């Protein structure tokens, strides 16, 4: 599956535009479905359809420029709260509203930053190919960090990082992951991203790796709260969509804002 999916993701990212937006939309749909099913096991009753539609609306809006994002987020919040008025069972209304909104923000809004990052060249007036390079950079520092953390943790991990959140993650693995992300950022800067210095590449790699690990821990926190191991089984060996993209939901926005205001 990896031999097929990686080239497809590479080609779609290079193409950009609607194909890349559609890819992110697929991640949002599947990710929100998993997220709401996860919370349903805890007894919450989120508005899955409304949440998914609003999450998709956010991604499409930022693709079109995002000039009225505050209006869209306001309407999302009002729609979800008003819908709760008509639920027959009025118990736990606050919980149902809160978890629905959280899904839109966590998966829809944070995930939409990948679209914003890919479309950044159109906003600042640089070559469209830069957008693909930014996505490759974020993916490289995040997933190299994840892989390195896993391998180092298995090889020499001895001290648990946050056992109440993730009982298998170790301090050694986390440090190894940060080193891997830093090295990946450095390598990107001297290969296909000449518009940033090696020092900047290493720094951004470190930042992306750090927030990627935090994103992974946050998802582990949610899964531990409801008592499950993986959010789904869509990707063999990697759990669900959220298990594979949880790190990107944190590293993507952080690196987007850095590139937006300090680099591109």
pLDDT in tens, the chain (264 residues): 444 467 888 999 999 999 999 999 999 999 999 999 999 888 899 999 999 999 999 999 999 887 788 899 999 999 999 999 998 887 889 999 999 999 999 999 999 999 999 999 998 989 999 999 999 999 999 999 999 999 999 999 999 999 999 988 999 999 999 999 999 999 999 999 999 999 999 999 999 999 999 999 999 999 888 887 666 654 555 568 898 899 999 999 999 999 999 986
The whole-number pLDDT of residue 2 equals 45
The whole-number pLDDT of residue 3 equals 45
State both tokens at 147: 């892989």
Give, in order, the Cα–Cα distances in Å from 177 to each of 15, 37, 149, 150, 210: 30, 30, 4, 8, 8
Contact 108, 125 (CB under 8 A): no
The whole-number pLDDT of residue 238 equals 52
Q: Which of 250, 209, 243, 238 is nearest to 223 (CA)?
A: 243
The whole-number pLDDT of residue 87 equals 87
The whole-number pLDDT of residue 234 equals 47
Residues in Cβ contact with 105 at an 8 Å cutoff, skipping those fewer than 6 apart: none
The whole-number pLDDT of residue 65 equals 87
The whole-number pLDDT of residue 90 equals 79
Please state, in angstroms and rounded to a whole number, the distance separating the CA atoms of residues 234 and 114.
21
Please state, in angstroms and rounded to a whole number, the distance separating the CA atoms of residues 61 and 73.
11
Contact 111, 244 (CB under 8 A): no
Please state, in angstroms and rounded to a whole number, the distance separating the CA atoms of residues 232 and 239.
5
The whole-number pLDDT of residue 91 equals 84
């Amino acid at each position: 599956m990896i031999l097929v999916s990686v080239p497809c993701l590479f080609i779609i990212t290079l193409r950009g535009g609607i194909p890349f937006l559609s890819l992110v939309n697929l991640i949002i749909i599947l990710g929100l479905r998993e997220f709401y099913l996860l919370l349903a096991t805890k007894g919450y009753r989120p508005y899955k359809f409304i949440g998914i539609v609003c999450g998709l609306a956010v991604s499409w809006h930022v693709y079109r420029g995002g000039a009225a994002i505050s209006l869209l987020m306001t309407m999302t919040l009002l729609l979800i709260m008003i819908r709760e008025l008509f639920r027959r069972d009025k118990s736990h209304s606050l919980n149902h509203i809160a978890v629905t909104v959280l899904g839109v923000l966590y998966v829809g809004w944070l995930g939409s930053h990948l679209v914003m990052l890919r479309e950044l060249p159109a906003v600042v007036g640089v070559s469209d190919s830069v957008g693909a390079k930014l996505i490759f950079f974020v993916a490289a520092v995040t997933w190299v960090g994840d892989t390195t953390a896993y391998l180092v943790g298995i090889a020499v991990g001895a001290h648990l990082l946050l056992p109440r959140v993730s009982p298998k993650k170790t301090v050694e693995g986390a440090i190894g992951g940060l080193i891997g992300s830093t090295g990946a950022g450095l390598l990107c800067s001297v290969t296909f991203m000449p518009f940033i210095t090696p020092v900047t590449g290493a720094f951004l790699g470190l930042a992306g790796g750090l927030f990627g690990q935090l994103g992974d821990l946050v998802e582990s926190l949610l899964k531990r709260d409801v008592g499950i191991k993986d959010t789904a089984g869509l990707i063999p060996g990697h759990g669900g969509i959220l298990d594979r993209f949880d790190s990107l939901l944190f590293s993507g926005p952080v690196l987007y804002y850095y590139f937006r205001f300090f680099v591109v």
